[in-house]
Amino acid sequence: MKILKFFVTLSIFVSLSASALLEVNIIKSREAAFPIVIAPFEIVGNSNNVDIAKIIRDNLNRSGQFNALSTQALITNQIDFSFWQEHKKDAVVFGKIEQVSSKVYNVYIYIYDVFSEKSLYQKKIQVHNSGFRRIAHFLSDKIYYVLLGQKGSFDTRLSYVTVSENSNGGKTYKLQISDSDGFNPQTVVRSSNPILSPAWSKDQKKLAYVSFKNNRSEVFVMTPFIKTIPIKLPKFDGIASSPTWHPDGNSIALTISKKGNKDIYLYDLNSEELKRLTKNISIDTEASFSPDGNKIAFTSNRTGQVQVYIKDLKSEKISRATFEGRYNAKPVFSPDGKDLALIHRVGKDYRLALLDIASRDLTVMTQNKSDESPYFSPNGGMIIFSTNRENKGILSIISLQNNQIVELMQKEGEVREPSWSNYSN
């Protein structure tokens, strides 16, 4: 078989960079990214116009772990390894989409190591017409795992809130869920009153969120994939807000204002019992569970300043976690439990920061004015948060590998309050 000449289309990465990167003066260590090639998939029969290779490339590049390029020509089963060695590519991925019937397709994928010239992985998968994006995310996770030995965060979902102005001056708030790349958005709650703080349960079946639909802050739980009426947690005295799921999925920590005193409570969804987790006359809110469920991090102004604290739920001991700056809030644990992402005030600006809990090292991650609501990707490799661009709320995803940033925004209106689901397993 004739071996085709290949040209690495560098422009793909450049144009993708232009569409996906935000200019921030954090050094991007692109050299550290894994250089690979993902060729366009060969199509046998009718295509359904979903470019699987492009979705995979975009995913891998967004992670900051890869520099994934395309090729001008297809790669079938003969690979010119010496060509790729010359061009310093570490791995070659190619595949084929073969139509079986009107709705069913076979998807083939092959991953080769350029230097050992060996197959690392190959697979045939049958998919439905409507499952192409999902399978592209699944294959992205597969490639990530095969090449890095770590889990990816691609076959996962985001939840977030969009806000748009109506023609009559009112606002429409929507709680939406989407794929991890922002595609396939679906509205699961819609209201003319504010919605905030959506949080996925660990099994991805439920979302807890705050709604003002009854003109007060209340916490609801809904099932985004099954049509049910959202369940309101019992009416508590004063505000109920800031829900976060215990990792076991059976209880939700939330902020309740009893007689005006805002503390964090644990509400057991089965026994309907309420257990008080913090007891302080000041504001305690924005709880996040450690992955093992043994600790909560939270925001408190107990010293007169807004700072982050960690409570060990077994020993009941509360210790201050942030010491740098006068305002640190909205902490969220990393999946390995070692770091907290939080919002840190720098001068007049509120910026995403990463705190190493043990060493107390605080790293400011952005140069933005008003970052909010950080949340880790399930593999811990990225943080999603909301920020402002030209007075408009957008979502931003930062790779912790090389600080590369990807922005997600609405054509019209704002998007805010992101949360990242766990893996679907």
Partner 1 sequence: MSKKILLLSSVIFLSSCASNNISELGDKFLDLINPSNNATEVAMLSGEETLVAMGETGGFTIDELEELSNDELIAIVREKGLEDLILLDEDGNLLNRDQLINAIVESAALLESKSEELESMSDDELIEVAVTKGLSDQIELDDDGNLANRDELIDALVESAAAIEAAISEFSNNANSFTLYFAYDDTEIDEVATRIIIQHANFMQENPSVNLRLEGHADERGTREYNLALGENRALSVKEVLGLYNLDDRIIVVSYGEEVPILTGSNEEAWEKNRRVEFSYY
Residue 404 vs residues 30, 63, 319: alpha-carbon distances, Å: 9, 8, 33
Restricting to residues 85-144, which ones interact with partner 1 according to CB under 8 A?
104, 123-128, 130-131, 133-135, 138, 142
Contact code string over 28-67 relative to partner 1, x by CB under 8 A: ----------------------------------------
Tell me the C-alpha distance between 299 and 309, whole Å. Answer: 6
Q: Single out the residue of 99, 89, 83 nearest to residue 69, CA to CA.
A: 89
- The answer to whether 347 contacts partner 1 (rule: CB under 8 A) is no
If DSSP codes are grouped into helix, strand and coil, which group holds residue 62? Answer: helix
Query: Which C-beta is closer to partner 1: that of 6 or that of 384?
Result: 384
Query: Which C-beta is closer to partner 1: that of 124 or that of 275?
Result: 124
Residue type, 157: R
Q: Which of 49, 77, 102, 425 touches partner 1 (CB under 8 A)?
A: 425
Residue 78 vs residues 35, 63, 71, 248: alpha-carbon distances, Å: 20, 29, 14, 49
Task: Determine the interface stretch with partner 1 among 15-23, 31-39, 78-86, 311-319 (rule: CB under 8 A).
Answer: 15-23
- The answer to whether 340 contacts partner 1 (rule: CB under 8 A) is no
- The answer to whether 229 contacts partner 1 (rule: CB under 8 A) is yes
Task: Determine the interface stretch with partner 1 among 2-10, 76-84, 90-98, 254-262 (rule: CB under 8 A).
Answer: 254-262
Run of H or E including 107: strand 104-113
Q: How many CB atoms lie within 10 A of CB 178?
A: 17
Restricting to residues 385-404, which ones interact with partner 1 according to CB under 8 A?
388, 391
Query: Which C-beta is closer to partner 1: that of 89 or that of 202?
Result: 202
Task: Determine the interface stretch with partner 1 among 80-88, 112-120, 228-236, 353-361 (rule: CB under 8 A).
Answer: 228-236
Q: Which of 9, 48, 99, 172 touches partner 1 (CB under 8 A)?
A: 172
Residue 420 vs residues 27, 256, 335, 353, 385: alpha-carbon distances, Å: 26, 24, 12, 18, 10
Residue with tokens 């819609």: 190
- The answer to whether 362 contacts partner 1 (rule: CB under 8 A) is no
Residue 81 vs residues 25, 66, 169: alpha-carbon distances, Å: 37, 19, 61
Q: Which of 372, 376, 378, 383 touches partner 1 (CB under 8 A)?
A: 372
Residue 253 vs residues 82, 90, 266, 277, 284: alpha-carbon distances, Å: 57, 46, 4, 8, 12
Least distance from partner 1 to the Cβ atom of residue 8, Å: 23
Task: Determine the interface stretch with partner 1 among 84-92, 165-173, 289-297, 311-319 (rule: CB under 8 A).
Answer: 165-173
Half-sphere exposure of 379 (CA within 13 A, CB side): 21
Query: Which C-beta is closer to partner 1: that of 6 or that of 143?
Result: 143
- The answer to whether 215 contacts partner 1 (rule: CB under 8 A) is yes
CB 97 within 8 A of CB 105: yes
- The answer to whether 325 contacts partner 1 (rule: CB under 8 A) is no
Tell me the C-alpha distance between 265 and 57, whole Å. Answer: 43
User: Rounded to 5 degrees, what angle do the CA atoms 142, 158, 207 make?
Assistant: 120
Task: Determine the interface stretch with partner 1 among 6-14, 79-87, 93-101, 239-247 (rule: CB under 8 A).
Answer: 239-247
Task: Determine the interface stretch with partner 1 among 78-86, 89-97, 322-330, 356-364 (rule: CB under 8 A).
Answer: 322-330
Tell me the C-alpha distance between 97 and 16, whole Å. Answer: 24
- The answer to whether 273 contacts partner 1 (rule: CB under 8 A) is no
- Residue 370 in tokens: 């008003």
- The answer to whether 409 contacts partner 1 (rule: CB under 8 A) is yes
Q: What region does 238 belong to: left with phi over 0, alpha with psi -120 to 50, or beta?
A: left
Q: Which of 78, 228, 303, 367 touches partner 1 (CB under 8 A)?
A: 228
- The answer to whether 330 contacts partner 1 (rule: CB under 8 A) is yes
Q: What is the largest CA-CA distance in the chain?
A: 79
Per DSSP, 39 falls in state P
Least distance from partner 1 to the Cβ atom of residue 83, Å: 29
- The answer to whether 2 contacts partner 1 (rule: CB under 8 A) is no
Task: Determine the interface stretch with partner 1 among 26-34, 80-88, 93-101, 237-245 (rule: CB under 8 A).
Answer: 237-245
- The answer to whether 241 contacts partner 1 (rule: CB under 8 A) is yes
Q: Which of 24, 283, 313, 364 touches partner 1 (CB under 8 A)?
A: 283
Contact code string over 175-204 relative to partner 1, x by CB under 8 A: --xx---xxxxxxxxxxx-x-xx-----xx
Q: Single out the residue of 30, 54, 27, 29 nearest to residue 40, CA to CA.
A: 54
